[in-house]
């Protein structure tokens, strides 16, 4: 593994620690201690998970320029403490950010860690500043801070609650949920999809979990760095991962138009993919996370191998784009299913634009009829009270509502069901006809064009 | 269909409109997309291998309009707009032309043909003819001869009407515009021996000039090209009420033939109503390709068929009704294609201006009569 920045190294170390905790299947404590004694900042990561071995770190290559480690030792003792000392130049830069460090650090530990929430792990962040004040702050992250997730919840449920928390905290730039943006629950809509590949002699059986969160921040005053571009976080085997080509392919090959979205680009930003949309309303924000893992991802009995995972060469370990796409599409379909009007396809939006006209004509037919019995029957079908005089607008609005709801329901059905039925008996008349005949037929009935004045 | 009193029919149609509206509301209230079944009709097919059912007046299939396709939704939108107008016309017993309807929402309708299709869809849905919807079109055809009829309280005297006298000294030949609304049996009087349908107004004028009707005791009608619905309904009415032989004189070219076929079999566009519009008894008087020799037409009167003419002819040869009902017509059409030439009726005037009325038409009618007697 090539480590090119302090942040990445920390993430790597922390996620390794989380893995150990996860595999212990017992209550664990994970500590990240930042000790500041200018010009050096010391990051210490410790956990009470299962034991690790030295091989874990043998493959870890540190880019000297990026990190500039002076020395860092591994004390392979029983409490598994790893220390990382950073050289002055880099630490100085980190030190300048100190006033906001509680947040920033929550971001780097929280961003990635809390999304994969493991209920049995309590994480803490300790910052010791070696300046005159001797300030020490402590921050313990509890996994069930925002929404309760218990020991029995599935991986995808935990991923979901993790992303939810991440979004509510503005991509973890806040310590707590942003109350001004998410004052009501309806502003955040979140769904997940799980796609599995069959276990076979060629493939070990992979699982792709995708979680998508859509937030509507109508009058948000909060600053968000990436505008309304979408960050797609990637995890592999319960650790943050880089963006695979398969994943980028999957993201670009999804028919976003059927969800009313127009993709401009999906680019690899190393630790996440960044999707740019066309004409996405400024108040709409989409966040996504994709987690791919092996169906039989190492269980506690094989703890020693976990972090140096090797799969037999015959296994195609990378999930292909089809599986990733399936997972993302399932999540999108789930969102569409649960929230009326959300992610309406471009096609459905177009059809909905006819609703006012259709409603106006139908209302016209009802209200201009001189048959009172017919009118009252219509009113009752539209669930309008018959006692008072009903205005055209009321009738029109009610019909429009119903038409739009039908179109939205239709849009949620899978393509196949939608297409099949109505065209079983489609007429082939026009194919039979000579085009020249059709042209003439047009003129045949159009006798008014040359009509005489009355 | 003609026998039903119009008020009863209007009530019946209004009831159907209400049922249709209720069916839409029911679907919507159950959260379904309404399914609008539109039967499709055709006057012919090009499937010559098997026995088709084009002549049965039964639908050849149907389309189902739903909210799923944009083209369908647009069609439903237009249909409902026109239906609203039709409902008002029927309730108030008023009439409007297709063009009037077009101008009520020209931006939405975008083209007259869009309105025409909606009107056809409504006729099919409500199982009626266009005029039943109180949608009328101004007649484009002309009639002259031994005929008198009343319509909408007005008397149309094609024999004695002083205001339609064109040729002062010949009060028998007259011209009147076909204005078709409601013509019933008791208001139709004629002493004619046959009806002659001519394709073009120029031929109609020629016959008028030659006092053809008075000399031959007949009725002459022209639809001025492709006949509109009023002309065909009028001809059909004359046929049904007077039971006279009907002859048809068209140019010897693919368009003339197609016009002849339209009179006899109906048009594809109005296929749903063809059973009320076609005149199966119509007989082809001419001009036939062989007439160019039989009547000594000089070479310069024969024009070569264009590529478009040939294409149209080849397509027409595929129509099932020609195979099944008039193989002799089809042979003539094939002959036209083989020769690769066409000519207009007026070419027969090369011999003399009155050749058409004095020689050609009488000889052709005689020919048909003798064949019938055999």
What digits encode the pLDDT tens for the residues A374-425? 998 999 898 887 655 678 888 999 999 999 999 988 887 765 444 444 444 4
Q: Is the pTM of this model over 0.80?
A: no
Contact present, B13 and B32 (Cβ < 8 Å): no
Distance CA B65, CA A329 (A): 29
Architecture of domain A1-143: 2-Layer Sandwich (3.30)
Q: What is the pLDDT of residue B145?
A: 82
Cβ pair B63:A427 closer than 8 A: yes
- B80-92 tens-digit pLDDT: 999 999 999 999 9
Question: Which residue has better confidence, A302 or A3?
Answer: A3
Whether A432 shows a pLDDT value over 50: the answer reads no
Q: What is the pLDDT of residue A273?
A: 87
Out of B62, B76, B88, closest to residue A427 by CB: B62
Residue with tokens 């036939």: B288
* Range among B1-10, B157-166, B319-328 rated most confident: B319-328
Contact present, B135 and B15 (Cβ < 8 Å): no
The interface residues of chain A toward chain B in range 385-414, judged by CB-CB distance below 8 A, are 399, 402-403, 405-407, 409-410
Question: Which residue has better confidence, A70 or B270?
Answer: B270
Distance CA B251, CA A313 (A): 82
Q: What is the pLDDT of residue A153?
A: 67
Q: What is the pLDDT of residue A104?
A: 30
- The token pair at A304 is 């020693």
CA distance A186 to chain B (A): 24
Whether B96 shows a pLDDT value over 50: the answer reads yes
Mutation target to probe the B interface, by most B beta carbons within 10 A, among A443, A448, A452, A454 is A448
Q: What is the mean pLDDT of residues A327-339?
A: 88
- Residue from B44, B102, B103, B247 carrying the catalytic annotation: B103
ipTM value greater than 0.90: no
Out of A358, A428, A444, closest to residue B267 by CB: A444
Q: Residue A230 carries which DSSP code?
A: E
- The CATH 3.40.1360.10 domain(s) of chain B lie at 142-373
Whether A169 shows a pLDDT value over 80: the answer reads no
Whether B329 shows a pLDDT value over 50: the answer reads yes
Chain A residues whose CB is inside 8 A of the B82 CB are: none
**C-alpha A91: how far from chain center:** 33
DSSP of B271-340: GGGHHHH--TT-EEEE--TTHHHHTT--GGG-EEPPHHHHHHHHHHHT-HHHHHT-HHHHHHHHHHHHHT
Q: How large a percentage of chain B has pLDDT more than 70?
A: 86
Q: What is the mean pLDDT of residues A287-314?
A: 55
Helix H or strand E segment including B249: strand B246-249
Question: Which residue has better confidence, A18 or B100?
Answer: B100
CA distance B346 to chain A (A): 23
- The CATH 1.10.10.10 domain(s) of chain B lie at 6-136
Whether B162 shows a pLDDT value over 50: the answer reads no
Cβ pair A436:B308 closer than 8 A: yes
Helix H or strand E segment including A63: none
Domain boundaries, chain A: 1-143, 145-343, 346-420
Residue with tokens 């189902």: B64
Q: What is the pLDDT of residue B302?
A: 92
The number of helices, as runs of H, and strands, as runs of E, in chain A is 17, 15
Quickly state the pLDDT bin for A308 (edges 50, 70, 90). very low
Q: What is the mean pLDDT of residues A233-249?
A: 83
Q: What is the pLDDT of residue A318?
A: 63
DSSP of B44-106: --S--SS---GGGTS-SEEEEE-SSSHHHHHHHHHHHHHHHHHHHHHHHT--EEHHHHHTTSH
Q: What is the pLDDT of residue B147?
A: 77
Secondary-structure class of domain B142-373 per CATH: alpha beta
Whether A238 shows a pLDDT value over 70: the answer reads yes
Quickly state the pLDDT bin for A117 (edges 50, 70, 90). low
B6-136: CATH, from 1.10.10.10, 1.10.260.40, 3.50.50.60, 3.30.230.10: 1.10.10.10
Is residue A310 packed enough to be buried (19+ CB in 10 Å), middle (13-18) or exposed (0-12)?
Answer: exposed
Average model confidence (pLDDT) for chain A? 66
Q: What is the mean pLDDT of residues A204-228?
A: 73
> For residues A106-134, b (16+ Cβ closer than 10 Å) or e, as one string?
bbbbbbbbbbbbbbebbbbbbbbbeeeee
Secondary-structure class of domain A145-343 per CATH: alpha beta
Q: Which residue of B has its CA nearest to A371?
A: B18
B103 is catalytic: yes
Whether A248 shows a pLDDT value over 80: the answer reads yes
* Range among A152-156, A364-368, B147-151 rated most confident: A364-368
Quickly state the pLDDT bin for A6 (edges 50, 70, 90). low
**C-alpha B316: how far from chain center:** 18
Of B112, B144, B128, B184, the closest CA to residue B15 belongs to: B128
Whether A441 shows a pLDDT value over 80: the answer reads no
């Amino acid at each position: 593994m090539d480590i090119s920045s302090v942040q990445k190294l920390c993430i790597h170390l922390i996620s390794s620690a989380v893995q150990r905790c996860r595999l212990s299947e017992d209550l664990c404590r994970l500590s990240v201690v930042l000790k500041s004694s200018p010009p050096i900042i010391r990051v210490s990561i410790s956990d009470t998970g299962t034991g690790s071995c030295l091989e874990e770190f043998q493959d870890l290559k540190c880019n000297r320029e990026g990190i500039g480690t002076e020395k860092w030792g591994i004390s392979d003792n029983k409490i598994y403490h790893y220390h990382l000392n950073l050289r002055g130049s880099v630490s100085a830069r980190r030190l300048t950010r100190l006033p906001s460090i509680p947040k920033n650090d929550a971001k780097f530990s929280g961003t990635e860690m809390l999304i994969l929430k493991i209920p049995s792990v309590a994480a803490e962040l300790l910052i010791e500043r070696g300046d005159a004040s001797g300030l020490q702050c402590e921050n313990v992250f509890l996994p069930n801070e925002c929404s309760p997730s218990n020991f029995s919840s599935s991986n995808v449920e935990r991923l979901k609650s993790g992303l939810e928390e991440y979004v509510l905290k503005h991509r973890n730039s806040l310590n707590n949920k942003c109350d001004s943006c998410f004052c009501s629950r309806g502003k955040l809509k979140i769904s997940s999809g799980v796609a599995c590949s069959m276990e076979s002699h060629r493939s070990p059986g992979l699982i792709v979990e995708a979680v998508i969160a859509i937030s509507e921040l109508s009058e948000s005053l909060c600053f968000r760095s990436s505008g309304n571009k979408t960050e797609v976080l990637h995890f592999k085997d319960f650790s943050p991962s880089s963006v695979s080509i398969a994943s980028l392919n999957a993201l670009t090959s999804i028919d976003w138009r059927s969800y009313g979205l127009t993709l401009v680009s999906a680019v690899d930003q190393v630790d996440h993919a960044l999707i740019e949309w066309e004409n996405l309303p400024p108040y709409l924000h989409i966040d996504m996370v994709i987690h791919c893992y092996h169906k039989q991802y190492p269980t506690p009995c094989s703890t020693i191998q976990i972090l140096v995972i090797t799969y037999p060469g015959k296994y195609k370990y990378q999930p292909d784009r089809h599986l990733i796409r399936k997972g993302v599409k399932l999540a999108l379909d789930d969102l569409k299913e649960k929230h009326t009007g959300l992610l309406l396809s471009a096609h459905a939006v177009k059809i909905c634009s006819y609703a006012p006209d259709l409603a106006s004509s139908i209302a016209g037919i009802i209200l201009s009829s001189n048959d009172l019995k017919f009118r009252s029957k219509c009113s009752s079908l539209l669930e309008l009270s018959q006692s008072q005089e009903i205005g055209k607008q009321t009738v029109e609005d009610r019909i429009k509502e119903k038409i739009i709801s039908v179109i939205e329901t239709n849009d949620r059905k899978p393509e196949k069901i939608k297409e099949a039925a109505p065209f079983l008996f489609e007429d082939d008349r026009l194919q039979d006809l000579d085009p020249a005949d059709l042209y003439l037929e047009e003129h045949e009935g159009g006798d008014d064009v040359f009509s005489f004045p009355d | 269909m003609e026998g039903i009193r119009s008020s009863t029919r209007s009530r019946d149609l209004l009831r159907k409109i209400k049922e249709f509206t209720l069916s839409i509301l029911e679907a919507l209230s159950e959260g379904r997309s309404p399914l609008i079944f539109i039967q499709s009709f055709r006057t012919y097919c090009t499937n010559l291998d098997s026995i088709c059912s084009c002549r049965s007046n039964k639908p050849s299939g149907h389309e189902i309009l739903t909210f799923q396709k944009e083209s369908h939704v647009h069609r439903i939108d237009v249909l409902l707009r026109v239906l609203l107008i039709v409902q008002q016309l029927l309730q108030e017993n008023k009439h409007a032309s297709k063009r009037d309807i077009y101008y009520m929402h020209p931006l939405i309708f975008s083209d007259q043909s869009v309105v025409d299709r909606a009107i056809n869809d409504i006729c099919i849905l409500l199982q009626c003819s266009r005029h039943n919807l109180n949608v009328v079109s101004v007649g484009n055809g002309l009639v002259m001869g031994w005929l008198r009829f009343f319509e909408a309280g007005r008397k149309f005297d094609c024999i004695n009407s002083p205001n339609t006298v064109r040729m002062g000294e010949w009060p028998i030949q007259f011209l009147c515009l076909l204005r078709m609304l409601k013509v019933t049996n008791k208001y139709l009087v004629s002493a004619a021996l046959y009806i002659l349908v001519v394709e073009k107004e120029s031929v109609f004028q020629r016959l008028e000039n030659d006092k053809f009707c008075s000399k031959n005791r007949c009725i002459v009608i022209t639809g001025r090209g492709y006949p509109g619905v009023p002309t065909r309904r009028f001809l059909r009415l004359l046929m049904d009420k007077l039971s006279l032989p009907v002859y048809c004189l068209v140019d010897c070219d693919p368009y003339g033939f197609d016009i002849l076929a339209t009179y006899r079999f109906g048009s594809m566009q109005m296929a749903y109503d063809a059973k009320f519009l076609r005149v199966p008894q119509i007989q082809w008087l001419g001009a036939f390709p062989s007439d160019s020799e039989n009547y000594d037409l000089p070479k310069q009167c024969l024009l070569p068929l264009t590529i478009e003419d040939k294409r149209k002819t080849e397509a027409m040869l595929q129509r099932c009704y020609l195979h099944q009902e008039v193989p002799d017509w089809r042979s003539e059409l094939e002959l036209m294609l083989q020769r690769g030439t066409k000519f207009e009726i007026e070419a027969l005037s090369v011999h003399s201006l009155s050749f058409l009325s004095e020689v050609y038409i009488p000889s052709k009618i005689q020919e048909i009569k003798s064949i019938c007697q055999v």
